[in-house]
Amino acid sequence: MHPNAREFTVSKTASFDLVLMRANPAVLTPESSGISECLDRLASEKRNGKPLSTYRLQFNAGFRFENARRLVGYLHALGISHVYSSPILKARAGSSHGYDITDHNQLNPEVGSYEELKELVRELKNYGMGQVLDFVPNHMGIGPGTNPWWSDVLGNGRASEFAEFFDLDWDPLKPELHNKLLLPILGNQYGAELESGHIKLVSDENGFHVEYFDKFLPLDPQTIPMIFEPLGNYLPQEL
């Protein structure tokens, strides 16, 4: 290990090293100095909070924060120092594991509310226990139109503010696919699916989108005026 590294153990079987190359304090900005002090404090505190034994909790609609809170006393009696929680961020509806996250900015309502999470944390603290949270930032579910980041990329393409969040090849070998996304979702040729009525243009309270069975695809905002072009001949020239 690098002599200036800090080791953060997250369970009895997994750990990772965070290398902190210490800079000259004279050249640190106030922001970086504050971060450095925070990391030093965490490194010193973690010696007392290091997991000694963990028990994994799989959260889903059938096992919520409240269920976990009721188990804390029992787990403490077993000698557990930390509960190892599966992902608790908003995931695909009905997810049994929680790794198919659709929104990293919200808790999964199927496993409980923010208040229920705080009650679980308070109960853990009452027993001197901690929590190891599995949040897996590289896991995401794009699902049937439930991921706002992915939906924005589908609607705005490379111009989306979330385009760089995904590993997308905007410059493939085929020039006709330049700056486009090719999704392998059709069960038949495009023309056949269109003629069969499987591809539908739908309007609801959120605007226009395309539906294909359980898939919901947003429209490029620049193409919405094209929807009304066939109506041009039927509109009065003067209002």
Contact 211, 202 (CB under 8 A): yes
* pLDDT tens per residue, range 74-105: 999 999 999 999 999 999 889 999 988 888 88
Contact 101, 139 (CB under 8 A): yes
pTM: 0.64
Q: Angle, to 10 degrees, between the axis of helix 65-77 and the axis of helix 114-126?
A: 10
Q: How confident is the model at residue 39 (pLDDT cuts 50, 70, 90)?
A: low
Domains by residue range for the chain, with CATH: 7-19+28-49 (no CATH), 54-133 (3.30.750.90), 148-231 (no CATH)
| Residue-level pLDDT at 47 | 54
12/51 Cα distance (integer angstroms): 7
Q: How confident is the model at residue 220 (pLDDT cuts 50, 70, 90)?
A: confident
